[in-house]
């Protein structure tokens, strides 16, 4: 009666496992980058929606997005109510329209934006996504 495996069987199993890993690791990295980009885009979209609701309740609000490292936050009056650290937490870099490093999206008491159309591009690795903020403050995901 034989117990265990031969050295050849163990080497063959390790070879097959390493081949499977070499195929799955790059796909996993692409998936992780894609999910980080989507998470950053949706975090900013959530802050915009929250700012519009705060503008209705408090007579105005502002969403700020700034580089160094990239982060997004809501200002209501003199206070900051929510922050999303996009680059630190998710490793996502944002590109703004006209190559700026900072933007502000202002909302009035009716929840309407007072900004020209702004395109936010989120990127990590080879993956990217965009969020378009219209002049009235509505969002579109192309």
Output 122 or 28, whichever has higher pLDDT: 122
9-40 confidence digits (pLDDT tens): 899 999 999 888 888 788 889 999 999 999 99
* Fold topology of 34-140: minor pseudopilin epsh fold (3.55.40)
pLDDT at 1 (0 to 100): 66
State the Cα–Cα distance between residues 91 and 13, nearest whole angstrom. 36
Residue 41 has pLDDT above 70, yes or no: yes
Residue 44: is it exposed, middle or buried by C-beta count within 10 angstroms (0-12/13-18/19+)? Answer: buried
State the Cα–Cα distance between residues 76 and 109, nearest whole angstrom. 11
Tokens of residue 22, six digits: 């070499």
- Ranges assigned E (strand) in 2-126: 61-66, 71-76, 79-84, 93-95, 102-107, 118-124
Secondary structure of residue 81 in the 3-state scheme: strand
Chain centroid offset of residue 49 CA: 15
64-102 confidence digits (pLDDT tens): 999 989 999 999 989 998 999 999 999 999 999 888 899
pLDDT at 60 (0 to 100): 93
State the Cα–Cα distance between residues 142 and 130, nearest whole angstrom. 7
């Amino acid at each position: 009666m034989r117990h265990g495996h031969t050295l050849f069987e163990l080497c063959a199993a390790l070879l097959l496992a390493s081949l499977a890993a070499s195929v799955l690791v790059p796909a996993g990295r692409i998936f992780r980058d894609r999910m980080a980009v989507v998470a950053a885009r949706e975090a900013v979209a959530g802050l915009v929606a929250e700012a519009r609701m705060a503008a209705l309740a408090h007579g105005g609000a502002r969403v700020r997005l700034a580089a160094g490292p990239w982060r997004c936050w809501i200002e209501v009056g003199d206070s900051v109510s929510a922050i999303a650290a996009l680059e630190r937490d998710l490793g996502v870099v944002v590109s703004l329209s006209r190559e700026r490093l900072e933007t502000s999206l202002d909302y009035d008491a009716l929840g309407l934006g007072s900004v020209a159309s702004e395109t936010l591009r989120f990127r990590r690795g080879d993956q990217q996504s965009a969020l378009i903020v219209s002049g009235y403050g509505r969002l579109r995901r192309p």
